Structure 1
Amino acid sequence: MPHLHRRDRRPARRPVRAPRPPATVSVTGSDLVLIGYFAAKQKDFGSLMDAAAADLAARGARVVGQVVQRRGVSRGGARAMARPLSRRTVLSQGRIREAAAVCARADADAAVFLWPLTERQRHTLTALLGRPAIGLAEALADSS
Structure 2
Amino acid sequence: MHQPRRRDRRLARRVSSRPDRRPAFRVPAVGADVVLVGYFSAKQKDFEALMASAAAALAAHGARVVAQIVQRRGVSDGGARMMSLPYSSRTLLTYGKVREVALACDRADADAVIFTASLSERQRRTLTDMLGRPAVSLSDILTAEARLRLDRIQAGP
Interval of TM-score (by shorter of Structure 1 and Structure 2): 0.7 to 0.9
Contact 1:32 1:110 in 2 (8 A): yes
The share of aligned pairs that are identical, in percent, is 51
Q: How does 1:88-127 map to 2 (within 5 A)?
A: 88-127=90-129
* Alignment match, 2:6: 10
Structure number with greater CO (CA < 8 Å, separation at least 6) is 1
Q: What amino acid sits opposite 2:76 in the alignment?
A: A
Question: Cα distance, 1:138 vs. partner?
Answer: 1.3
- Return closer, same or farther for 1:64/1:12 CA change in 2, 3 Å cut-off: same
Looking at structure 2, the residues matched to 71 and 61 of structure 1 have their Cα atoms a distance apart, in angstroms, of: 27
Matched, 1:80 2:82: no
* Aligned amino acid, residue 100 of structure 1: A
TM-score, reference length from structure 2: 0.76
Distance in structure 1 (CA, Å) of the matches to 2:44 and 2:125: 28
Give distance in 2, aligned partners of 1:135 and 1:110: 11
User: Aligned residue for 1:30?
Assistant: 32
1:110 is matched by which residue type in structure 2? A
Count of residues in correspondence between the two structures? 136
Provide the C-alpha distance between the structure 1 equivalents of 2:132 and 2:140, rounded to a whole number of angstroms. 19
TM-score by structure 1 length?
0.83
- Tell me, yes or no, if the aligned pair for 2:24 and 2:140 is still in contact at 8 Å: no
Q: In the alignment, is the contact (CA less than 8 A) between 2:24 and 2:141 conserved in 1?
A: no
Q: What residue ranges of structure 2 are gaps of 5+ in the alignment?
A: 147-157
